[in-house]
Every structure is written in C-alpha cells, then in structure tokens.
Amino acid sequence: MQALEALESNVRTYSRSFPAIFSRARGSIMLTEDGRKVIDFLSGAGALNYGHNNHEIKAAIVDYLASDAVIHGLDMATPAKLEFMETFSSVILRERGLQYRFQFTGPTGASAVEAALNLSRKVTGRQNVISFTRGYHGMSLGAIAASGNRFYRTGSGTSLSGATFMPYDGYFGPAVDTADYVRNILMDENSGVDWPAAILVETVQGEGGINVADRQWLRSIHSIAKSVGALFVVDDIQMGCGRTGDFFSFEFAALSPDIVVLSKSLSGFGLPLSILLIKEEVDVWRPGEHTGTFRGNNLALVSANAAIDIYWRDRVFAEGVQRMGGLVRRRLEAIASEHGNSFAVRGRGLALGFDCQVTEIAESTTRKAFEKGLIIERCGPNDQVVKFLPALTIDLETLNHGLEIFEESLAETVKSSGAPVACPQRKDTDEPMTA
Ligand SMILES: *Cc1c(COP(=O)(O)O)cnc(C)c1O
C-alpha cells in the first residue's frame, strides 16, 4: 500500500475506502492478496451486475479470443457487433415493444452521456439541458455540467454551462410535486429558463443517494419534455441492465425515452462498453459526425451478447432480482426499525439505500463492515447513505451474510457513538466527504 501512495495520484478513491490489494474475484467474493475473503456489495459501482468473472459469460470471450477474431476494428462491421445488435433487438427491445437504433460511443458512461446531449442539441437546435438536483452523469465537461455534485463541479476547474437544474422527485419532501414546478417553469414564457434540447433524468439516482422517482412523476416529466419539444433522455447507466428488477429501469413506468444511455453492466463482464439507444427520428447524425477510437469494442460486445442470451431470454432472472430486492428491503427496514426508525430505507429492485442521516454513522458503519469482510460504499449529498448494490446473481447465503455484517457494523457504530441517532442532518459543505 505504501508503493501505491508513492506511485498513484492523490485522486485515487476506492483504494482508500477499501485498503487491501485485491488479487482475484468470482461472483460476489473478492480475495485479497493476504488471503481475506470479502463480500462485494459494490459490484464495480453497478458495472458487475452478473458478478465478477461470471464463468458462463467468460466462456464466450475466451472462445472469441482463442479464435483470433477481430478485437479492435474501430466501428467496422464484425459478426460480434451484428450478433449483439440482433440479440439485443430481439431479446430486449422487441419483447418490450421498443424500437431503437444503436449508437456505439466511446467506452465510458460519460462519453455516451456527452453524445446524447450533443445529439439532443443537434436535433433541436437548442443549447440548454434540464437535469436534476443530485443527478450524476459523469466526468466529461458536458456531463459534469449536468451533474449536481459541487465537489465534482469544482474539480472541473472551469465554468460549466448549458444545464438548468430542476428539483428531482421528492426534493422538497413528499408534499410538493416537483413535476408541477418543472411544468410551470418551462411553460412560462417569462420564467427565464431557456427551452431545453433535452430533459436528462435517472429513474433512481445512484450516486445522489438512491433517490427514487415515482412512476407518475417520471410520466409527467416525459410528457413535459414532449410538450416543450425536448428530447426525453434516460441515463440508465447505473440502474439499467437489470438493477431495478427489469432490464430497463423505466419499464415500470411504461416510458419510451427518445434516447437511452447504457454503460456500466452492459458488457456483462466489467469490460468498458457504452451505447445510446436512439429513436430513428432523432438519428440525424451525418456519417462520422460523432466518432471515437474505442466504439463498440468487440470483446465487450461478445460478453454483452452472452449476458443477454444467458439471463434475459425469459422472466426468471428478472423475477429473481425483484424477489431478492424485496428480501433485502424488508431486512433493511427491520434493521431501521430496531434503531427506532431514525434511518430511512429507499430503492427499487436490488438498488437499495440505507440513509443514516448522519455522515459519520455511515462512514463508521462502512469502515467497520470492511474490517469484517464486506465491501459497501456510500452515496448521497453528504455520503450519508449506505448503498447496497450486490450482484444480481448473488446467492442467498452470501447475501444474508453481507447483510449480517452490515447490521453488526451499524449496531456497533450506534452503540459506540453513544449519541441519540436522530442527529440533525449535516449541511452541504464544499469539503470532500469521501475519504
Ligand atoms: C457511472 C455513471 C455515469 C458515468 O459513467 P463513467 O463510465 O464513469 O463515465 C453516468 N451516469 C450515471 C447514472 C452513472 O452511474
């Protein structure tokens, strides 16, 4: 670890929260170099929905590698790419009554968000984008401009423009319907907010604190986008690919976004792969107008194809995710009630947040959890929410073991803090809260 400090930039993050050297991993277990077995409830921040080194998916890429098939071909046509698009279209899209074209973007989520915003601006001839408080869309300039986090915004070192923030569902508490507010502002010729090229939204804010948008709220935002001639763009980078219990996180609200952004678990194996799903009528790109060296890496397309083929041909997998999500949720609610309900539980599917209300409680709980063998991270404006993102393929025994570790770590934290749990919530500060 000393070598790490000397060699790697100060910017490193997760190696600080989880101080160990991880050598191998399989499913939901990671092994450290010194022989510890650790349960993973972080899952590459949602990039490993099918677990580490999923052997069925791995078999497909091992075969592909062994055959000297094309790995990198810019965006030339390959059997791997055609097969991926065909499988995705028939298994995922057609089954859901959706029709999209594929745009292969650069490999990171941010590059795909950036492409979605550029395309929206090109389609509408407008510049402004509506995004939401506590939203997170990545680290490129256009994506940060649309992200709420002040720490990251400041980190960009330049002025960020082109986005207007609106309050997300629930931002002012349950009594205020923020969709009404958005509608009023955008319909008012004198509100001072320019008509947007796009409304960019997460159905559950992953980094922002597992904030869950209600079905009706999402439908309202979609219809507002339509009425002001803006594209409705869902950033499904973290909540897509099964995380909420359906392939797309917006299925429960029966939405058909103009653009869907997918990345993180799309490759099924932790390989970088990002795409936009775009409606045919918004596909106004001229050939080559948006480009990139690593678009649609073939190895990642092979694993993505395998993941869809293995898990999404019927409803069994999705139903399992919903069942496990219910189980985790009830367990977390029981834990919250043991502590006099000073904590809140939120989420959908297997994306769950345990809001400790107080940064220090969440921090100490996740630190103790790691000492006891559980990797789990925090999110939310003050990093006060413990975020449960187990692999969707996790077995019940490992899942329960992880939950036990969390429960113990929280109990020890609350006991040793001695303070009444219901402390006032900490104010936003400019200070980085993630150690
Ligand atoms: C992770 C994430 C991104 C950014 O993806 P990168 O691959 O880190 O660039 C964008 N939006 C959401 C919702 C994310 O969770």
Catalogue all structural domains in the chain, each as residue range(s) with its CATH number.
2-53+316-416 (3.90.1150.10), 56-311 (3.40.640.10)
Average pLDDT over the chain, rounded to whole?
95
- Tell me the pairing of strands 37-40 and 374-375: parallel
State in Å: Cα 237 to ligand 1 middle.
Answer: 6
Indicate which atom in ligand 1 lies nearest the CA of residue 47.
1
Indicate which atom in ligand 1 lies nearest the CA of residue 139.
9
Using CA atoms, how far apart are residues 342 and 344, in angstroms rounded to an integer?
7
Task: Give residue for tokens 């019927």.
Answer: 314
Sorted by sequence, the CB contacts under 8 Å of residue 17 that are 6+ apart come out as: 366, 370, 377, 434, 435
Read off the pLDDT band of 417 (50, 70, 90).
Answer: confident
- The per-residue pLDDT for 210 is 98
- The per-residue pLDDT for 433 is 38
- The per-residue pLDDT for 419 is 57
Q: Which of 185, 260, 256 is nearest to 218 (CA)?
A: 256
- The per-residue pLDDT for 421 is 52
pLDDT tens sequence across 222-261:
999 999 999 999 999 999 999 999 999 999 999 999 999 9
pLDDT tens sequence across 360-372:
999 999 999 999 9
Q: Is the pTM of this model over 0.85?
A: yes
Residue 428 has pLDDT above 80, yes or no: no
Mean pLDDT of 282-298: 95
Of 155 and 432, which is predicted with more confidence? Answer: 155
- The per-residue pLDDT for 71 is 97
Read off the pLDDT band of 420 (50, 70, 90).
Answer: low
Residue 425 has pLDDT above 60, yes or no: no
Indicate which atom in ligand 1 lies nearest the CA of residue 107.
7
What is the best residue among 105, 210, 236, 264 to mutate for testing ligand 1's pocket, by most ligand atoms within 8 Å of CB? Answer: 264
Alpha-helix runs per DSSP H in 125-177: 141-145, 150-155
Mean pLDDT of 301-322: 98
Residue 431 has pLDDT above 60, yes or no: no
Token digits of residue 78 = 């390959």
Indicate which atom in ligand 1 lies nearest the CA of residue 264.
7
State in Å: Cα 137 to ligand 1 middle.
Answer: 5
- The per-residue pLDDT for 1 is 76
In the three-class reduction of DSSP (H, G, I as helix; E, B as strand; rest coil), residue 344 is classed as strand
Read off the pLDDT band of 343 (50, 70, 90).
Answer: very high
Q: Which of 380, 426, 47, 330 is nearest to 206 (CA)?
A: 380
Token digits of residue 53 = 């080194």
Mean pLDDT of 15-40: 97
Give the lowest-confidence range in 149-153, 198-202, 343-347, 367-371: 149-153
- Which backbone phi and psi does 108 adopt, to 5 degrees? -90, 160
What is the best residue among 136, 141, 233, 273 to mutate for testing ligand 1's pocket, by most ligand atoms within 8 Å of CB? Answer: 136
Using CA atoms, how far apart are residues 143 and 138, in angstroms rounded to an integer?
5
| 113 Cβ closer than 6 Å to some ligand 1 atom | yes
Q: Which of 190, 191, 174, 186 is nearest to 220 (CA)?
A: 186
What is the DSSP secondary-structure string of 201-243?
Answer: E-SEETTTTSEE--HHHHHHHHHHHHHTT-EEEEE-TTTTTTT
Mean pLDDT of 296-302: 97
* Rounded alpha-carbon distances, angstroms, from residue 385 to 153, 185, 382, 420: 21, 31, 8, 18
